Amino acid sequence: MVAGASGIDLFLLVIDATEGARPQTHEHLAILRLLGVENGVVAVTKADAADPETLELVKGEARELVPGAAVIQVSAKTGEGLDELRAALVSVADGLEHEALLGATRLYVDRSFTLHGIGTVVTGTLWSGSVGAGDELRAEPAGIDVRVRSVQVHDEPVDRAEAGQRVALALPGIERSALHRGNALAEPGAYPVSYRLDVELAELEPIGDHTRVHVHHGTTETPGRIVRVGDRFAQLRLASPVVAARNDRFVLRDGTTVGGGRILDPAPPRAPDSARLELLATDDPESIVKALVHDPVRSEELAARALLSHAELEQGLAAVEHAGEWYFSAEWLDRARREAWTRLTLRAEAAPLDPGLAAGELLPGATPWAETILPLLDLEHRDGKVYLPGTGAALGERAAEAEALEARLAEAGFSPVPVDDVELARFLEGEGRLVRVGDRLAIGIEAYEQAKRTLVEECRRTGTITLARFRDLLGISRRPAQLLLERFDADGLTRRVGDERVLRRGATIER
């Protein structure tokens, strides 16, 4: 009964006029309420077999059980009340609005069988969307892609079936044993497959924390455990995964029906949080999105969780911070800003010559979106590194050390000088005060420029230059000459051809 009632919009509750409501009647009605099926008609049957006094008592009981529903006395034997019953059902059905028509396609399988000449056929109630011949669906949780060959509604072929209809789908190329009761056929990527559900509980009797129950959702029945979060909320931990969406209804049974409720998040984090669940329990898109956006997330990832319609998602996303395709909560962004400023402050104190950090170092683990959010952190991004606003590399107390190094370079001329402090050398090179050559070696900027002019003039005069010729022109040994030529190659000034160098096209003396 639970599986059959899932996906319907209205009920016909039958009460025997000679017996009245039985315990199973009360349980069926409780299940309907847990599933959110609120509209229907009550038929009091066997009206011809009950005396008038008993009949009125049963009808009165029915009105108390289902306030607001039409109660019709009928007799299959005499035909009494059947026309009135049909009219009442039509009246209730005409007043329904089926919002599920707007959702992505989803059908829960209740039967799978084989027909000669057709192949595998599955049946079920189409929960949302529509389905037609040629549609590509995905069978979950098996993860099997299927193609719909044909569609029938109540044994009649149709071009497309709509949400709320009983549907039979012919699926070519699929073994009957691959699909079974409880599987979901859904639009690929539209619904999450999860072992956990964050839910709002409705209890028929008290349900203790960590109680083991049978969870009924769609046509699925799976063992599960309840992890309570306060009085209203819980997380269901399931033995097998289900395909679900926000506001789906479920039923909990343990011998009898003990409760149920609605799903707030079909793919929640492992640790449930009461504040987050309070936000999810609202019907406000902004609150729901704020509950979901903790760590950075893409909008398409939120859409895949089947929590909000496209329009609702757009409305909710407008209320949270974003950079490009990434969305962030205000709390996460504030925390990231504080952490980034702290790291850069410590970096500036420890390394004043290089106070910046690469985005990946600044926000560990944030590689996909680190650079995207930098504008939101009030930081400056220059030359591939991130800096505190208005800060940059500075010599500070090391100015005297830098001047002493420059004096040594000037005295050495064309001969490279060992530089153990690579960080200081890198800074001074960036300032145009020296040039690094080889490994931990440097020469003064004037010597470098003079060597460059000598090389360019010789190449323009003769077309090429050799290591020996360059060495003789500068009056230095072979090793310094080789280091300078290799630097010119790296700078794009020259190109080696055999034992000679030639100027690259467009090479100039200016550095």
pLDDT digits (tens, 9 = 90+) for 200-209: 999 999 999 9
Q: Does the fold of domain 193-319 match that of domain 100-186?
A: yes
> Which of the four pLDDT bands, split at 50, 70 and 90, describes residue 404?
confident
> Helices 445-462 and 467-474, interaxial angle, to 10°?
130
Decide: residue 213, CB within 10 A, 0-12 exposed, 13-18 middle, 19+ buried.
buried
pLDDT, tens digit, 9 for 90 and up, residues 324-356: 788 888 888 888 888 888 888 888 777 777 778
Please tell me the least confidently modeled range out of 196-200, 431-435, 461-465, 485-489.
Answer: 431-435
- What is the CATH architecture of 193-319? Beta Barrel (2.40)
CA-based max dimension of the chain: 129
Please tell me the least confidently modeled range out of 1-5, 265-269, 501-505.
Answer: 1-5
Taking alpha carbons only, the member of 161, 136, 157 closest to residue 148 is 136
Mean pLDDT computed over 176-189:
92
Q: 2-97: which CATH topology? A: Rossmann fold (3.40.50)
CB count, 10 Å around CB of 505?
6
Decide: residue 472, CB within 10 A, 0-12 exposed, 13-18 middle, 19+ buried.
exposed
pLDDT greater than 60 at residue 509: no
- pTM (2 decimals)? 0.69
Mean pLDDT computed over 461-467:
93
pLDDT greater than 70 at residue 394: no
Q: What is the pLDDT of residue 511?
A: 45
9/296 Cα distance (integer angstroms): 38
Q: What is the pLDDT of residue 466?
A: 94
Q: What is the pLDDT of residue 414?
A: 92
pLDDT, tens digit, 9 for 90 and up, residues 118-168: 899 999 999 989 999 999 999 999 899 999 999 999 999 999 999 889 999
pLDDT greater than 70 at residue 366: no
pLDDT, tens digit, 9 for 90 and up, residues 294-307: 778 888 878 777 78
Q: Report the length, in residues, of the chain.
A: 511
Q: What is the pLDDT of residue 236?
A: 97
- The CATH number of domain 100-186 is 2.40.30.10: yes
Contact 152, 158 (CB under 8 A): yes
Mean pLDDT computed over 55-84:
95
pLDDT greater than 70 at residue 101: no
pLDDT, tens digit, 9 for 90 and up, residues 280-299: 999 889 888 888 887 788 88
DSSP string, 105-139: PEEEEEEEEEETTTEEEEEEEEEESEEETT-EEEE
Q: How far is CA 129 from CA 65, 89, 100, 111, 146, in A?
A: 33, 24, 6, 20, 17
pLDDT greater than 70 at residue 309: yes
User: In the chain, what are the domain boundaries?
Assistant: 2-97, 100-186, 193-319, 331-387, 401-503
CATH class in words for 401-503: mainly alpha
